[in-house]
Chains A and B, each alone.
Chain A
Amino acid sequence: MECYIGIDLGSTTTKAVVMDEDYNVLGRGITNSRSNYDIAAGVAKHEALIDTRFMLFRNAMKNVAALGDKYEIFMDELERNFRLEQYLEQLIDLDETCTKASENTRYTEWGSDLTEALAGVFKRVALEAPDLFAPGAQRKSDFFRDIAGSQYSTISEEVAKEADTPFDVLLNIYDRSIIDVENRIYTETTNQNLMRALDRTLVNLPDLAPVADEVRTEVQKVLGIDLEETYVIGTGYGRARLPFSKDHIRSEILCHGLGAHIMYNDTRTVLDIGGQDTKAIQVDKDGIVESFQMNDRCAAGCGRYLGYIADEMNVGLHELGPIAMESTRKVRINSTCTVFAGAELRDRLSLGENRSDILAGLHRAIILRAMSILSRSGGVHDQFTFTGGVANNEAAVSALRELIKENYGDVTINIDPDSIYTGALGGSTFARRAVEGIPTEAVA
């Protein structure tokens, strides 16, 4: 089937959206791989295509009447098992890569102890894998690097103690290997992983034995569908580095404007706060960009800034919002400058100010900066759509709501939990339009 793909290469993550010929979103994919834009685009696209496959499964399984109310459980089990299979596959790769790395002469003094220790670590990491993907299991992140990294480090610390191999040597080997593994795309094995996941699922859900054959046939059918990459559009921060021809590249401003329009048809103003930049975009009723403004050369007040603050405070990026929400007092923060942020923060803490109050002030400062960019772009018009990583931060959202109300009165504010895909969504729409012959670029 025809697939229209938009890829948004951001500064921190790369996102992809797959669309069918009727402009329906079929799948989404995201990766945090950063070493190389080409690979990041490949991984995100691959993930989005897998997501698409699952969408097709879901549709197909709905037709298996015999599944009945087991449908949800089945799909959930299948997806988790697939993730597990994917994880195991990458783990084997990581194991092999680490083993190879351990053969480097710099490690010879540890000899066979090291080989054994590594084998021990991976054996345990693999053993613990199914628990990580069990029903209801909480994972801090879905990125392989994050899951495998934390498992590896906990387990190798224990193994190091027992086996008398230095922990830092084990970590060092991991650090040398993970990037290679992360940069491999496993397109070939997807179908095998899916079939293995299906086997697991049927074992785990013995109730389904009577319909197993029917389910298998449906799955096979879906696997037989060729997902043809009909047209791909790249956008975002790293778009120029893609090996795409000009026809396949669109500005992220245009993609964001269109993406927001697709999500919320009545959008007139879009604010996107991403890792590296803040954009305010005005679009018309068709999602065509009327005007836009961006932060200038410095990334003050963008997502990156929150990253620095989190590091400075020694908390996770996702904890910032909730901590700020506990604030009871307004603190005015002067600088959204990433360079001075740390200093101002330490100053205030040493003055005895409360952590959550300071954080609330910081969030407000970011939004104030965004408000100025918004007003420079022509103000806020109904409806207003807020996108980008920072839109997931509740403290930022609450400051934004307050300031919008103060300055522009009652405006509908749209925030989609999947807003991180806005640019890619716009990209895939452009891809579809390009083939449909709706001109989006002068072909002068």
Chain B
Amino acid sequence: MNIKDQASTVAEKEDSMWKQKEMINENYELLSTANERGQKVASTFVPGNINELLMCFDFARNFPETNALQNAMRKKSGGMIMEAEKSGHSEDVCTYVKADLGMMMKGNKGPTGLPMPDPDLLMLSYTGCFTFMKWFELVREQYPQCETAMLHVPYQADGNITKNMRDYVVKQLKEDIIPTMERVSGVKFDIDRLREYMIQSQKAEDDLVYVLQSAKNKPSPIDAYFGGVYYIGPIFTAFRGTTAATDYYATLRKEIEARVAAGLGPITPEGVMKEEKYRIVVEGPPNWTHFREFWKMFYDEGAVVVASTYTKVGGVYDNGFRHDPQNPLESLADYCLGCYTNLNLPARTDMLEKYIEDYQADGLLINSIKSCNSFSAGQLLMLREVEQRTGKPAAFIETDLVDPRYFSPANVKNRLESYFQMISQKRDRAA
């Protein structure tokens, strides 16, 4: 690659990254002034978020998980978690919850330092994780005047979505969620507005899928985990359905197309990855407190993540699902029902197996998160099953989302290096 190309790659990379950063900052700014401006605020969770619908009522959208992880990346979550523990929350409680509560206790300043608003609506889409419910119960204690709306999404116990399940979700949307939103916001529901947003969602989703699937190339132009968590940022949160998100994904797609054309590997914090030695599928959320350090353990060894399940928590799109302007409510239902956290273990296992095959991966790595039972339950069973079905080696590491005390660099590095060497040992023998 000549110098000119190199310069343009860096510039392009900065384009989408910069855009995203701006979007996030803007949203925090918006949130910080929402109360005084009289804009209503909804808090909601990433999996199963019905962002387009919230937009129809002019809600500002606040995502507590994003706040927690943003705080963690800024090294602020540790103190928040301790604060929550001081007030009695046990060591075993999901650390996203504790970071969120701790943030409130410490004056409720968000990751960028701006004040967080009082919510007017707690919009709970219940997609598989029981913690979500408990979390909002605790938040509600802080804001007794705030309304809660619960969308109950049936678990995909049998691994598929039935008509009944879809109807049940749509019925709740019509009879409960929409009326509540109307009441809280004072805005009348307009289904055409929802359709408009969904046209945007669809475009962004197409581009996102292109980006994620670009990892099928060799070398992969992206890291679908460490880079992936940036790529899913806008679409999994307050921006799905906005033109800003659509623009972001169009830009991102162009950047990745250029990388594919140039045969480039992923961009890491230390520049373009030179040599792709290992192609890994990762299951489980990342660690946010030592994100860079964790990532480095991969790219230093030439390991690139080609597919991950975590980049599906806010929506599984690579199986063809798209938000559908023709059937807006039904597609919202399908979206919620299809979230990764709402899938049963066999479905998750199938997905991992398919990723290993489709992305020609060397094996499966599970990052088991100490405090997330939603992801962690059954992971070892999945590991054995995938190992057996694919014949590819698998490994297991343990960290936490946002509790810095649960990241032991030496331990994680040891396991990762062992795993990579194990792969090459097997590869050599096969050769």
Contacts and interface: CB of A to CB of B under 8 A. Distances in A.
Interface of A: 237, 240, 250-254, 277, 286, 288-298, 376, 378, 439-442, 444
Contacts, number: 73
Interface residues of B, number: 31
B380 A376 contact: yes
Contacts of A298: 408
Nearest to A293: B396
B427 interface: yes
A294 B411 contact: yes
Given A296-B411, A444-B275, A444-B277, A251 B417 contact: yes
B415 A294 contact: yes
Interface in B57-92: none
A297 B421 contact: no
A433 to B, nearest CB: 10
A439 B413 contact: no
* Closest A-B pairs by Cβ, 5 of them: A297-B408, A253-B418, A251-B418, A442-B424, A439-B428
Contacts of A253: 414-415, 418, 421-422
Interface stretch (B328-336, B340-348, B387-395): B387-395
Contact of B418 (A292, A376, A439, A444): A292
Interface string B387-431: 100000111101000000011101101110110011011111101
Among B302, B413, B415, the one with the most A-chain Cβ atoms within 10 Å of its Cβ is: B415
A379 to B, nearest CB: 10
B393 A286 contact: no
A336 to B, nearest CB: 16
Contacts of A442: 277, 424, 427-428
Contacts of B408: 296-298
B418 A252 contact: yes
B134 interface: no
Contact of A251 (B384, B393, B396, B414): B414
Nearest to B410: A237
Interface of B: 275, 277, 302, 370, 380, 384, 387, 393-396, 398, 406-408, 410-411, 413-415, 417-418, 421-422, 424-429, 431
Contacts of A252: 414, 418
Given A251-B417, A286-B429, A296-B411, A291 B394 contact: yes
Contacts of A286: 429
A291 B394 CA distance: 7
29 contacts: A237-B414, A251-B414, A251-B418, A252-B418, A253-B415, A253-B422, A254-B418, A286-B429, A288-B422, A288-B429, A291-B387, A292-B422, A294-B411, A294-B414, A294-B415, A296-B411, A297-B408, A297-B411, A376-B380, A376-B396, A378-B384, A439-B428, A440-B428, A441-B424, A441-B428, A442-B424, A442-B428, A444-B275, A444-B277
B393 A291 contact: yes
Nearest to A236: B414
Contacts of A254: 418, 421-422, 425
A139 B431 CA distance: 52
A440 B98 CA distance: 45
A441 B413 CA distance: 17
Nearest to B301: A246
Nearest to B394: A291
Contacts of B407: 297
Contacts of A292: 395, 415, 418, 422
A289 B380 contact: no
A288 B428 CA distance: 11
Dominant SS at the B interface?
helix
A126 B370 CA distance: 56
Contacts of A290: 393
Given A250-B421, A254-B421, A277 B393 contact: no
Nearest to B383: A291
B395 A288 contact: no
Nearest to A281: B418
A235 to B, nearest CB: 10
Nearest to A253: B418
Contacts of A297: 398, 406-408, 411
B290 to A, nearest CB: 12
Given A237-B410, A289-B422, A376-B396, 10 more contacts: A252-B418, A254-B418, A254-B421, A288-B426, A291-B393, A292-B395, A292-B422, A297-B398, A298-B408, A441-B424
Contacts of B431: 439
Contacts of B277: 442, 444
Contacts of A376: 380, 396
A387 B431 CA distance: 31
Contacts of A296: 370, 398, 408, 411
A118 B421 CA distance: 53
A294 B393 CA distance: 16
A277 B411 contact: yes
Contacts of A291: 387, 393-395
B281 to A, nearest CB: 16
Among A289, A293, A295, A297, the one with the most B-chain Cβ atoms within 10 Å of its Cβ is: A297
A288 B395 CA distance: 15
A368 to B, nearest CB: 18
B425 A288 contact: yes
B94 to A, nearest CB: 17
A190 to B, nearest CB: 34
Contacts of B380: 376
A441 B426 CA distance: 9
A293 B414 CA distance: 11
Among B394, B415, B422, B428, the one with the most A-chain Cβ atoms within 10 Å of its Cβ is: B422
Contacts of A250: 421
A294 B396 CA distance: 9
Contacts of A277: 411, 414
Nearest to B423: A442
Contacts of B426: 288
Nearest to B278: A442
A398 B370 CA distance: 32
Contacts of A289: 418, 422, 425
Contacts of B370: 296
A253 B393 CA distance: 14
B263 to A, nearest CB: 16
A252 B395 CA distance: 15
Among B277, B395, B421, B425, the one with the most A-chain Cβ atoms within 10 Å of its Cβ is: B425
A376 to B, nearest CB: 6
Contacts of B428: 439-442
A440 to B, nearest CB: 6
Contacts of B398: 296-297
Contacts of B393: 290-291
A296 B398 CA distance: 6
A441 B278 CA distance: 12
Contacts of A378: 384
Nearest to A297: B408
A444 B427 CA distance: 11
Contacts of B424: 440-442
Contacts of A294: 411, 414-415
A253 to B, nearest CB: 4
Among B302, B414, B427, the one with the most A-chain Cβ atoms within 10 Å of its Cβ is: B414
Contacts of B395: 291-292
